[in-house]
């Protein structure tokens, strides 16, 4: 009881007990009806078409990864814009270097044809 992490251990134990109690209640009290319509996959209200385990082109994953990379890097522009006046000329130069590297990477990816859909 004198340990500094005692309250944290009690909190985690209480959270675990609550989770287990809710799972038990849902299992025992919840409805148990099942039919073939519930077992089918749901696709936005449309009946499923074809197999759900199709292979996607590597291009799809490449474009998705490039989007995430460039999107996350562009997010850094927002805090820079907020503190632009406090950063002064050094902040402007640093952001110019950052954007230059970002543009060089984008041009490289574009020239390699990673953004082309065939």
118 belongs to a structural domain: no
As beta bridge partners, residue 46 has 43
Q: Digits of tens for pLDDT over the chain (118 positions)?
A: 788 899 999 999 999 999 999 999 999 998 887 787 777 766 676 766 777 678 877 888 888 888 888 888 888 888 888 888 898 899 899 989 989 998 998 899 889 888 777 6
CATH of the domain at 61: 1.20.58
117 belongs to a structural domain: no
Domain holding 12, by residue range, is 6-112
* Torsion on CA atoms 106, 112, 116, 118, rounded to nearest 10: -170
pTM (two decimals): 0.49
The number of folded domains in the chain is 1
What six digits make up the tokens of 27? 């299992």
């Amino acid at each position: 009881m004198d340990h500094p992490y005692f309250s944290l251990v009690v909190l985690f134990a209480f959270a675990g007990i609550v989770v287990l109690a809710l799972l038990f209640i849902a299992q025992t009290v919840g409805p148990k009806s099942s039919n073939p319509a519930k077992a089918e996959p749901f696709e936005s209200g449309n009946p499923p078409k074809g197999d759900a385990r199709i292979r996607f082109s590597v291009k799809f994953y490449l474009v998705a990864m490039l989007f995430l990379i460039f999107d996350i890097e562009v997010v850094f522009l927002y805090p820079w814009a907020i503190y632009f006046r406090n950063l002064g000329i050094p902040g402007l130069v640093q952001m110019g270097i950052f954007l230059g590297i970002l543009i060089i990477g984008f041009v490289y990816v574009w020239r390699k044809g990673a953004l082309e859909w065939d």
